[in-house]
């Protein structure tokens, strides 16, 4: 992601205070020692990983929820924000976030999803979606419109905090005789959901899966190369990601 000069200068200003401190304590400690100190100072934040940052004297700390922060060796100072490569005008933090969110396609439990095959179905896409999410409908009606030669795996991921009726509707879709057709009719054509008998829908298993993958909103798209992308992205970008290796 490219950043305007104003944002870069602001980040450099914030980073400068940390960098000066880091230079003032040149000793190098192990990531394990930094982790231990961090957990002692922030006992309520679960640490996922610690490693040296691209800048000497700083350490990258990833906490639960895939949040990245930077600290000095003694965790006396903590920096939250983008670490920017000024030569390339790129955020190293954002690049790292992409790495952390990458999903091994082979590990996805596709039996928890229903699928729609278009054309030869050779390209793969998994979508975590909510039937009452307006952006999910935009994805279905606009971004995915006309996209072919793809197999779409739909994981029903209702966010009850935002859409109280979404769980019920998700169950209606899953328990329908033709899930893909029912979903398409409701999301793309505005057809009402059929009244169906309740069944053993895997809504809770999908919720746990989404939390494990760090999915906090819908729609969330996972491509065959492992890239996880949030939001109803434009069709041209979607096509590019479907073709990525």
pLDDT at 205 over 90: yes
**Percent of the chain whose predicted confidence (pLDDT) is above 90:** 77
Hey, where are the domains in the chain? Answer: 5-101, 105-243
Question: How many C-beta neighbours within 10 Å does residue 44 have?
Answer: 6
> E strands, 5-145, where?
47-52, 58-63, 67-72, 78-79, 84-85, 90-91, 114-118, 123-129
Residue 9 has pLDDT above 50, yes or no: no
Rounded CA-CA distance 133/36 in Å is: 41
Sign of CA dihedral 142, 143, 149, 153: negative
What pLDDT score was predicted for residue 98? 81
Contact 33, 72 (CB under 8 A): no
Q: Which of 51, 60, 50, 52 is nearest to 82 (CA)?
A: 60
Q: Give yes or no on whether 5-101 and 105-243 have one common fold.
A: no
Spatial CA neighbour of 115 closest among 155, 148, 158:
155
Above 60 in pLDDT, residue 59?
yes
Mean pLDDT of the chain: 89
* Cis before 173 (ω within 30): no
Res 66: pLDDT: 79
- Distance (Å, rounded) from C-alpha 11 to C-alpha 170? 43
| Structural element, H or E, at residue 219 | none
Average pLDDT on 148-175 reads: 97
The dotted CATH code for 5-101 is: 3.10.450.70
176: three-class secondary structure by DSSP: coil
- Judged by DSSP in three states, 222 sits in strand
105-243 placed in CATH 3.40.30.10: yes
92 pLDDT band (50/70/90 cuts)? very high
CA atoms 193, 196, 202, 204: torsion sign: positive
Q: How far apart are CA 133 and CA 215, in angstroms?
A: 15
pLDDT digits (tens, 9 = 90+) for 27-36: 578 999 999 9
Mean pLDDT within 21-30: 56
In the block, which residue shows the tokens 């030869």? 120
Chain segment 69-88, per-residue pLDDT in tens: 999 999 999 999 999 999 99
pLDDT at 101 over 50: yes
């Amino acid at each position: 992601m490219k950043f305007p000069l104003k944002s870069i200068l602001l980040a450099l200003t914030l980073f400068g205070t940390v960098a000066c401190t880091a230079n003032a304590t040149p000793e190098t400690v192990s990531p394990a020692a930094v982790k231990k100190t961090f957990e002692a100072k922030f006992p309520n934040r679960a640490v996922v990983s610690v490693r040296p940052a691209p800048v000497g004297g700083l350490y990258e700390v990833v906490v639960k929820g895939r949040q990245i922060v930077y600290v000095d060796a003694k965790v006396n100072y903590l920096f939250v924000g983008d670490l920017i490569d000024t030569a390339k005008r790129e955020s190293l933090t954002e690049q790292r976030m992409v790495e952390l969110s990458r999903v091994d396609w082979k590990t996805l439990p596709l039996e928890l999803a229903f699928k729609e095959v278009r054309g030869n179905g050779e390209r793969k896409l998994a979508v975590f979606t909510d039937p009452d999410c307006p952006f999910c409908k935009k994805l279905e009606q606009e971004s995915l419109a006309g996209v072919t030669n793809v197999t779409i795996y739909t994981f029903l991921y209702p966010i009850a905090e935002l859409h109280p009726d979404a769980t019920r509707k998700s169950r209606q879709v899953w328990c329908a005789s033709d899930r893909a057709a029912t979903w398409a009719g409701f999301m793309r054509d505005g057809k009402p959901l059929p009244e169906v008998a309740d069944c053993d829908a895997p809504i809770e298993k999908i919720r746990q899966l989404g939390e494990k993958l760090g999915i906090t909103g819908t729609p969330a798209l996972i491509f065959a190369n492992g890239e996880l992308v949030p939001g109803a992205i434009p069709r041209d970008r979607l096509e590019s990601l479907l073709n990525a290796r």
